[in-house]
Structure 1
Amino acid sequence: MARKKQQEDQPAGAPLWMTTYSDMVTLLLCFFVLLFAFSTVETQKFDQLMQSLQNAIGVSSSGILDGGNTLFPNDFIDQSLMGDLTAGQRNELENFRELQETLESYLQEYDLETEVLVSQESRGLMLRFQDNVLFDPGKAELKPRSKEILQDIAEFLRSPELKDKDIRVEGHTDTVKVNPTSIYPTNWELSTGRASNVVRYFIEEIDMDPERFSIAGYGEYQPIAPNDTVENKSKNRRVDIVILRSEYIVPKSQ
């Protein structure tokens, strides 16, 4: 009888703590609804951004890796970010695009478009040379033909639109070890030696301002393709000349 009496004294329905819990969940739901209401998502811009990122890392819509493209010059940036740039930045971007078109025309005229690639990236305008264009395998001495190409490139680098732009020259290799008889003990020295010789040619032979240049050698550690085939290794053996945008220029010490 005592047990029956105790059961009759308990209130019907859910326990009392459930009321407090449900109130808390309801308040949290209202909070997140308000956050969503205050935010705006522009579907077109989001889709363009995702496409841009997929292109940049070489991922197609199917999720398959293929050749990557640069992130900078696309409709997303043109339509969505151009308004955020200053007048000087917009003018600089237009100058870089005009320069890119001029360089691409030159490369097509001399059948070099497969050896020298011109593209825009976040840091600026990049010229990518496959190593066989400038150097013999395993060496860092400039080939005679490459000097003619660099002379033409120097004319663009000295144009009024670019005369105040800094230039970064970067050397890269594949994973093949250097010949033991080489003066370069590792790919670090080989990649740096190649970048250094390109800069020295611009400064010593063409009389360009040395303060505009910086160099870097990355060895085999910044590949753009897996080092698993002869073709991919050829892609990784490269020298990049980057004409830096203003915000990437390090101020000179006084």
Structure 2
Amino acid sequence: MNNASVNASNTFEGVKEEISGVLGVRCSTNLEKYLGFPNVVGKRKRESFQNIKDKVNQRIGQWSTRLLSQGGKEIFIKSVLQAIPNYAMTCFLLPKSLCEKLENIFYGKKKKGIHWCQRKFMCRSKEEGGMGFRNMSQFNISLLVKQGWRIINNKDSLVTQVLKAKYFPNNQFLNSSLGNSSSYTWKSIWAAKDVLSKGLFWRVGTGTNISINSDAWIPDTINFMLSSEVDSM
């Protein structure tokens, strides 16, 4: 906790000092990086996204003098380049334009060098005849869906309690609304909520949370209720 900091421009100094004393952290006046990624706040989003591109270009520059075979370049893209924005994509919804720019950097559009097949075929799984490269935009959504899944299942975690208290105190995550003045993190996780809803299904298990009379047993029907009460005794 000694390396953590309290930063809130709209918080009174006395409150900052009290929070700092309770948590045992220092007060900070400047936004800093977390895990090498700048804070995504307001106008700094563009700077943060540019930081990702710079890291990718820097890594490519370090390897530009090395001769890589087609197989070697494939491993370099999958294991190194595509892994660079992983943390950012876990927390934030990157613009599709940025994902496309990253893919253009990965595969290059120069006349010289390796000529790849069409990207839509490259991003298919190897079982479907593709090369197994990631579609960065879709991969971004899948990571955010995983965060939503964690919110549903890890109700006692700190991040779930904070998000619930602020954005859906009287509701469930799947029924939550975006709200006003939301953080970019919440906007990103909320944007993937519909994808998560489509992939959810009930598993009966012990059946303690199932109602025979009120739950829908036959999907896509107008009247799914039982026609009469059932005496289970």
Report the TM range for the smaller structure's normalisation: under 0.3
> TM-score scaled to structure 2, two decimals?
0.25
User: Whose Rg is larger?
Assistant: 1
What's the TM-score once normalised by structure 1's chain length? 0.23
> Which structure: greater strand fraction?
1
